[in-house]
Structure 1
Amino acid sequence: MTAGQAKRAPEVKSALDEGDVTGAFHEFMNAFETFKEANNEKLKQLETRSADVVTVDKVERISQALDEQKQALDTLVLKKTRPVLGRGGAALHDLERKQAFDAYMRSGDERGMRSLEEKAMSYGSAPDGGYLVPDETEAAIGARLAELSPIRSIASVRQVSSAVLKKPFAVTGPAVGWVAETAARPETATGTLDELQFPTAELYAMPAATAMLLDDAVVDLDQWIASEVETAFAEQEGAAFVNGDGINKPKGFLSYARVANATWSWGNVGYNVTGAAGALPATDSSDVLIDLVYALKAGYRQSASWVMNRKTQATLRKLKDADGNYMWQPPATPGSRAMLMGFPLVEAEDMPDIGADTTPIAFGDFRRFYLVVDRAGVRVLRDPYSAKPYVLFYTTKRVGGGIQDFDAVKLLKFGTV
């Protein structure tokens, strides 16, 4: 066995690290040849005398390395045969990316991340723009946001790769009519289409870490960054989805034009009034809630939710129906939502308090009403200079939002007109 052959076994994983199935297979076959040579040498020794301990140990080591490489090769082949799902394909889901990201976070070594981003030809992959976190970390952040951000949890969420999502909708449908069986079919009018645009804006957080935290190999930095940014992202999102002005942030549904439901038209959010400035009616207070429920079309009521803040909920919790039953009911199981008139109630602290001419209560199908747009990719830029001895991690994601169906939600205005 030559010196080159003896050294070959420790190198068999190089192609696996590169994600090259063909190269990995050739290296596996070379390792197998090395194994056969070493094992043949051991068998020859056994024919004349007892096998040399060094030879036996060599065979065992090469055999173990061969088993490990075969297992890794099978895993790599399986990854390559899977259909590509979502952004980036399998190459961005492997262990190599996680290891490169961990090295960047702990020590600022960006060589691995730069190489991966260049291979993927990612948008904005320059070091001064930060690097994309592994897909698992991005998914964890998204899952946490869905739990913490009240509007996101009930709205539609769509992931895009561009800066703006453009969604067409029909202002008027095609003309239709009744005709006799043998009568001529005149050409119908063409439906009118318009376009909704949902631009994304940058949302950021900047958690800080100590050198001791980064040196601690037990700490999972992926989970740490997700847990550090979740609350900051959720708070900013929650405020923007309700009251955002659409300038460098999503447009909140309370920032759109509001009109009385009797004169509602597309592009506006309809509302009912309580008939009393800053208060519920003195008598039959619950009737205004019933009227609001039935101001919504039946198709939207099936998946409707109430949205209000905690103070407003405290006010409605005291209401009873005509039979003396409380209209508000507590959650049936831990983790579920309270119910109001049989519909789930979502607490959004950014909703306004009850006051003169405010709209603190929304009711409707938010899945069809509001669209949250996430641009694929959460980026992290490591900054060890600005707050020494701490290391800052400038974490950004791009989010947009706006109304996609103006008829799916109605508001309750505490006023007279």
Structure 2
Amino acid sequence: MSTGDTGNEVGSWAERALRRRWRAPVMFTVLGLGALVLFGLLAPGGERSTFGISTAGDIVEIDPVGVPSRQAAILLALLCLAVAGYALLLTARAEPVPLWLSVLFGSAFVLSFLTWAVAGETISLTGALQGSLALSVPLIFGALCGMLGERTGVINIAIEGQLLAGAFLSGVVASLLGNLWVGLIAAPVAGLLVAYLLAVFSIRYLVNQIIVGVVLNVLVLGLTNFLYGRLLSPQAQTWNSPGRFPRWKLPVLGDIPVVGPVLFDQTVIVYCMYVAVLVVHVALFHTRWGLRVRAVGEHPEAADTAGIAVNVVRFRNVLIGGAVAGFGGAYFTLGAIGVFSREMTAGAGFIALAAMILGRWKPMGAVFAALLFGFANNLQSVLGIIGSPIPSEFMLMAPYVLTIFAVAGLVGRIRPPAANGQPYIKS
């Protein structure tokens, strides 16, 4: 290859990298202008949006906050544009756009939308956030599961089956033994068993990872439906009456307005989720183990040369991820509903995969993405109750559209681990 050709390739790469850097601030600008026009300038004036802050039992009672809908939406849209301007400035200086800036933009945009959508009505902001977190818990566990596998190069499509298996076994064991804690311990075992099948077929026997994942989802779905029809439904008192964990309100922290009821008045499963996110984040990015895991996912040949047993690391991580997903599945039965029902995960495993991708294979990013999905899912119910003219299908569709934009690179570059989905055969 000539020097000229090399120079052209470097120049082309530099141009593509420059375009990628500009995508996020440009998208911020477009969305900010859209919020200013649609939620502010074109909105009717004279209406107020009221948000409830306090919940029953709060030590400090805060009156509902009412704001002029149109003016508040305009101010929040202007904040979005200010953030977009700062992002443009950072990009012009060849500096990265920090995560907190994206979070600030997203929060301002959502609040601008809310003030427009709730015009003339009242909603409980704290209640909406509580519902959003409740819907996000299994998504976060599922995203962590997928991340642990894909960071080593194994695509885990079987998250749905692992969540469902955890929900099923936790409910059955808790019902038979009359002990919620034993049921909670059984949940990761169920997820681990499904993960073991995934690891054996995809890592040891080199079967296509996506096909194995789809087959396992169908297997778990069929098996749980069969057992539900034969045992859990006709003999519900014996096989399907586990009950639910009570909420534990943490002293002091649980009394903080808004934050307390949302984050610190939860079940033990939610508190375990906080710990799991922190542990996975620290383990992946601040330990020698995490460095080995990421090396296997990025360049397995180099990792093997350095003495790392590639397939052993992959096998182990898939099992750990399965246990995490199974534990998250217990939230459906032991944390939220109190009984097992057919197909109760309702596609949560696939949504968790989308959250993982939107979160760029990072625990904190996946948490924010899962919260976004949960918020949109819960908001469509809230807006339906108050009679908002916004179609509920639009709210359910919005996070998926955002995920498509993200994967397409319109909000910055998203790149999976380089060896993702590629089996490793030791030469």
Query: TM-score band, normalised by the shorter chain?
Result: under 0.3
User: Which protein has greater RCO, CA pairs closer than 8 Å, 6+ apart?
Assistant: 2
Q: Point out the structure with the larger strand share.
A: 1
Larger radius of gyration: 1
Tell me the TM-score normalized by structure 1: 0.23
